[in-house]
Amino acid sequence: MSRKTPVAIIGSGNIGTDLMIKIMRLSEVLEMSVLVGIDPDSDGLKRAARMGVATTAEGIDGLMAMPEFADIEIVFDATSAGAHRRHSEAILAAGKRMVDLTPAAIGPYTIPPVNGETNLDAKNVNMVTCGGQATIPIVHAVNRVAKVHYGEIVASIASKSAGPGTRANIDEFTETTSQAIMDVGGATRGKAIIILNPAEPPLIMRDTVYCLCADADQEEIRCSIEDMVAQVQTYVPGYRLKQAVQFEHIGSNRPLRIPEMAETGQTEFTGIKVSVFLEVEGAAHYLPAYAGNLDIMTSAAMKTAEKIAARIHQGVTA
């Protein structure tokens, strides 16, 4: 690529600020052009100004009025699901591409190691949620070996790492993540739970994945999961298995009953229960290392945007 691709970020909170710093420090493809907020006193906007990044506290209207907007090719949205609907309409109408870090799910769900090459021509791609980015690769890893009938994830993040946008989107988080467990992970039914942990000192992001799947070779499932972890680590080095993958065989003599599967007609489950325990340590680009939820979300978004930029300028994937 002969030049870097100018980008803007809407949202000057935890996620937007972390993404800005990550792009400026790490990306050889993207050029940070504008950080957009609505509070002129926000730490994100002040930090951007100190780093030489153009800013506006007038929201999307302020962005579109700036001279820099003409050259911007990709816009990240790190605000809220409700705000993203308006942002998407305006940005797409202006001929720009969008990478959505909210749970709005207007564009197709995108998880880099699972379907990262699939949606590069979409005008708006959705990065699901931080919990989805951490756990859906694992559901997919199990499903490519043995059909996952039910996938359940629990994402626990430090309360201090959850800004007002995240807190306002708890319902959207569970709904979007649950749907993506099915649509991207491949599970017949999905369920997601998020926990904002108020512990002091703040605890590192932890994710638990439960998959109820068909009988298959357990070693093959384990190898598939470990291979997927290694793929995620290429862009999120702090992503790791907390302990060995756990297996439990559930036989017909004591089937597991799952009320959530009633609508599929399969309320009694036999097969293998796979339990995976993950830890995500952040790179501490903005908040401390406990905020792995920021790191996995912004890293996935940046990686996706870099591939989109390569597609725009070269007609091929990065």
Q: Which residues are catalytic?
A: 130
Comparing C-alpha atoms, which of 164, 250, 177 is closest to residue 209?
Answer: 177
Is 176 in contact with 129 (CB distance < 8 Å)?
yes
Q: Is the peptide bond before 201 cis (omega within 30 degrees of 0)?
A: yes
Q: Are 178 and 247 in contact (CB under 8 A)?
A: no
Q: Do 195 and 157 touch, CB atoms closer than 8 A?
A: yes
Three-class DSSP labels, 74-106: EEEECCCHHHHHHHHHHHHHCCCEEEECCCCCC
Residue positions counted in the chain: 318
Contact 80/168 with Cβ under 8 angstroms? yes
Coil, helix or strand for 246? strand
Between CA 215 and CA 296, with CA 241 as vertex, the angle to 5 degrees is 110
Check: CB of residue 273 under 8 Å from CB of residue 212: yes
